[in-house]
Amino acid sequence: MKKTIFTWILASALVACTSQPQETFYEKQVTFPADATPDQKVEMASRLVPTAQQLEWQQMEFTAFLHFGMNTFTGNEWGDGKDSPELFNPSELDCEQWVKALKDGGFKMALITAKHHDGFCLWPTATTDYSVKNSPWKDGKGDVVRELRDACEKYGMKFGVYLSPWDRNAECYGDSPAYNKFFIEQLTELLSNYGEVHEVWFDGANGEGPNGKKQIYDWEAILKTIRTLQPKAVTAIMGDDVRWVGNEGGLGRETEWSATALTPGSYTHSAASNEALGIKPKAKDLGSRELIAKAKQLYWYPSEVDVSIRPGWFYHADQDERVRSLANLVNIYYQSVGCNSVLLLNIPPDKRGLIHEVDVQRIKELSDYIGKTFANNLVADGEGLWKAQIGNSKEYEVKSGALANTFLIQEDITKGQRVEDFLVEVYSNGAWQYAAEGTTIGYKRLLRFSDCTPEKIRVTIRGARGVANITNVGLYYAEPLQDEGTKVKLSDVSVEGWKTVGMDAQAAIDGDRGTAWKAEGLTPLVVDMGKEEAIAGFCYAPVSEENLSGTIYKYRFSVSTDGQNWTPCDAHGEFSNIMHNPIPYYVRFGKAYIARYFKLEPISEINGEAKTSIGDIGVLLK
C-alpha cells in the first residue's frame, strides 16, 4: 500500500516537473490512496498494465482445453471418485494426434485435465493410488501428462495443466491442512517433472452442497508453489492472473475491462471486497468508472472464455452429432478473441484416446476460416501507434473496390486499457456512413457490419481514460456462414397425450424448453405417458433463462406401470455441472424399464434452495 502511494506521488511529480512526462505504470494491481478522487482513480486505472506472462498469455488468443479422464470412460461429466481405475483404458491413445490436430487448428497451447473432480490422476502420482498407475492402460506404466508434454515439445505447442481443487476421491479432502499438503504435493509433481508449464487452471466448481465436506484452501501457499516452480506460468480462475468470463457458453462481454475491480477469489479479502462492491465473476460490469469510484483496488485480471466444442466437457459418443457448427464457433471467436478475451476451446479426446474425426475436421475448418478472413487487411496503413485523444478521428484508405464487413482494432495494453467508446464509419458515394460502434477495445476488438465497398474508413475515439494507444486497425471481408442450428431433440417418445399426475405442470412436458414449470419446494414431477414404453433413459432440460433458480442438482428417477409401485432406475443421480453449463442432460440407464409412469424427484437444487424448475423433460428409448 505504502509503496503504491509513493509510486503515485512520484508519478504525479514526474508529470508535473518534466516537459515530456514519463508515464508510470502499475503492474497487475493498483491500490488507490484513501483520498483519491474518482477522476484520479480513473487516471491511475488507465496506467494499470499486465505482467509479462499475462501479456504473453493474451497474445496467444487461441488455446485448447483437453478434458480427458475417468469420465471419458464412464460417460459422466462429474465422477464421484468411486469408479474403479480398471475402467481407464484408452485403446489407441496418441497425444501426437491431439497436438497435430490442435496445431492444424491454430491453437497455441494445450491444457489438460490432469485431475478432474473425481480425483483420478492422469499421471503416476506418488500422492494417491487413484491414478493411471492402477489402470490396465499400458499395464499401469503409462503417463498421459508425460505423453502430452512430449508431443507439445515436439510440435512447438505451449502446455498447461488443470488440477481440480475439489477432489471427491481423496479421503483427506475436507481435513483442510492435510488436503492442502496433498494438493501442493500433486501440484509440485506436475510443476517439477514436466518441463515448462504456461497456465495452471484451478476450477472454482465445487458441488459438495450445504452438507458436504468443507475444504479451506491455503491459496497463498498454493500460488506461492506456482510462482516458485513455474514463474512464467499464469494462474487461472481460482488463480490471480486469468479471470473466468462468467459462463461456459462462449459468451464474452461487449464491454470487457481487463483492469477490473473484481478481487481474485484466492485472496483472503476477496469475499469482503467483492461483496462491498456488489460484484462477482458473472457480473456484467467489472470495470466501469462508477465501479472504480467505489473501489479501493484494481487488478489486471483479463477474461478467458472457456467453452466446449460439444455440449459436455468430456467426450460422449452420443454427442458426435452435436459438435458445434463452424458458424457457431466463428460466433464464439468474435465473442471471445474479438471481445478482449482469450478463447479456451475444449476438444475432448474420446475413449480410444484420440480426438474424434468430426472435431478434428471442425477445428481445421475454424482455423482455415479465421486464417482466410484475416489474411488480407484492406487498409494499407493500419499498423503503427496512433495516440488518440478523446474526439480524435483517423481516416484510412481502403483498397479500391474491396468488399468489407469486419473491423479490427487493438490497443497497446502494455500502456494500459483506455478506450471507452469508439465509432467506425465508412465513406462511399461521397458520404460518410455509420458502420459500427463499440465501447472497450483492449487487446483486440472485432466488429461485424453489413457488406460494403468503402473508399475510406474513419475511426473516432469518443471516450477514453486519457490518451489511447491504438496500435492496429484492420478491415476485412468474412464469408457469410449459414448455421443450420441443429434442433435438439428432448424426447424419443412423442409427448402428445402425456399428463402430469396430481398437479398441472404441462409446461414441463410440452416438448418446448422455452416454457418452464416452476414450483416452490423440492417438488417431484409425475408423468403419465398414457401407454407403456421401454424407457432406457430420460432427458432433463433446465429452464432456458438467465435465472436458473429451481434447477435440479441431485435427483432420483423412478418408473411405474400402475402409478402406485415405483422402481428406482439406475441413474447417476446428479446433473453434475448444470449450474455452469445449463444444457439438456441426457441420462441413460444402460438397460430398459417398462413403464407407463415416470417420476423425477429433486433431492437438491443448484443453490440449495427449496425450489424446483423444469424447462422440459423427455424419455429416451436407447
* Three state DSSP letters for 404-456: EEEEEEEECHHHCCCEEEEEEEEEECCEEEEEEEECCCCCCEEEEEEEECCCE
Binding mask 266-305 for ligand FUL (x = CB under 6 A): ----------------------------------------
Check residue 203 for interaction with ligand FUL (CB under 6 A).
yes
User: Of the two residues 157 and 238, which places its CB atom closer to ligand FUL in the complex?
Assistant: 238
Q: 357-373 and 95-104 are packed helices; what angle lies between their axes, rounded to 10 degrees?
A: 30
User: Of the two residues 78 and 194, which places its CB atom closer to ligand FUL in the complex?
Assistant: 78
**In the set 189, 218, 306, 605, which binds ligand FUL (CB under 6 A)?**
306
- End-to-end, the C-alpha distance of the chain in Å comes to 62
Could you tell me the smallest distance in angstroms from the CB atom of residue 168 to ligand FUL?
Answer: 11
User: Of the two residues 237 and 363, which places its CB atom closer to ligand FUL in the complex?
Assistant: 237
Q: Cell numbers 508515464 correspond to what residue?
A: 23
**In the set 577, 604, 612, 613, which binds ligand FUL (CB under 6 A)?**
577
Q: Which of residues 54-83 bind ligand FUL (CB under 6 A)?
A: 77-78
**In the set 47, 198, 316, 580, which binds ligand FUL (CB under 6 A)?**
580
User: Of the two residues 203 and 605, which places its CB atom closer to ligand FUL in the complex?
Assistant: 203
Alpha helix ranges (H) inside 295-398: 326-336, 357-373
User: Of the two residues 57 and 78, which places its CB atom closer to ligand FUL in the complex?
Assistant: 78
Sign of the four-CA dihedral 283, 202, 348, 151:
positive
User: Of the two residues 174 and 249, which places its CB atom closer to ligand FUL in the complex?
Assistant: 249
The continuous run of DSSP H or E covering 342 comes out as strand 341-346
Check residue 205 for interaction with ligand FUL (CB under 6 A).
yes
Check residue 551 for interaction with ligand FUL (CB under 6 A).
no
Check residue 598 for interaction with ligand FUL (CB under 6 A).
no
User: Of the two residues 63 and 560, which places its CB atom closer to ligand FUL in the complex?
Assistant: 63
Could you tell me the smallest distance in angstroms from the CB atom of residue 47 to ligand FUL?
Answer: 33
Q: 95-104 and 144-155 are packed helices; what angle lies between their axes, rounded to 10 degrees?
A: 40
Size of the residue set binding ligand FUL (CB under 6 A): 8
User: Of the two residues 61 and 306, which places its CB atom closer to ligand FUL in the complex?
Assistant: 306
446: nearest Cα among 407, 412, 405: 407
Could you tell me the smallest distance in angstroms from the CB atom of residue 595 to ligand FUL?
Answer: 31
Could you tell me the smallest distance in angstroms from the CB atom of residue 503 to ligand FUL?
Answer: 32
d(CA 267, CA 217): 11
User: Of the two residues 114 and 535, which places its CB atom closer to ligand FUL in the complex?
Assistant: 114
d(CA 200, CA 188): 12
- Identify any residues that bridge with 380 across adjacent strands, giving them in sequence order: none
DSSP string for residues in 360-381: HHHHHHHHHHHHHHTT--SBTT
Could you tell me the smallest distance in angstroms from the CB atom of residue 239 to ligand FUL?
Answer: 14
User: Of the two residues 239 and 287, which places its CB atom closer to ligand FUL in the complex?
Assistant: 239
User: Of the two residues 203 and 601, which places its CB atom closer to ligand FUL in the complex?
Assistant: 203
Q: 176-192 and 219-229 are packed helices; what angle lies between their axes, rounded to 10 degrees?
A: 10
Check residue 412 for interaction with ligand FUL (CB under 6 A).
no
Contact call for residues 261 and 298 (beta carbons, < 8 A): yes
Residue 275 region, left (φ>0) first, then alpha (ψ -120 to 50), else beta? Answer: alpha
**In the set 8, 68, 194, 313, which binds ligand FUL (CB under 6 A)?**
313
Q: Cell numbers 463499440 correspond to what residue?
A: 438
436: nearest Cα among 263, 252, 254: 254
Give CA separation, 218 vs 244, 268, 455, in Å. 20, 10, 59
Q: What is the DSSP letter of 121?
A: B
- Identify any residues that bridge with 174 across adjacent strands, giving them in sequence order: none
Q: Using CB atoms, what's the residue nearest to ligand FUL?
A: 205
Could you tell me the smallest distance in angstroms from the CB atom of residue 306 to ligand FUL?
Answer: 5
Could you tell me the smallest distance in angstroms from the CB atom of residue 99 to ligand FUL?
Answer: 20
Could you tell me the smallest distance in angstroms from the CB atom of residue 109 to ligand FUL?
Answer: 15
Binding mask 146-185 for ligand FUL (x = CB under 6 A): ----------------------------------------
Kindly list the residues in this chain that would bind ligand FUL in the complex (CB under 6 A): 77-78, 203, 205, 306, 313, 577, 580
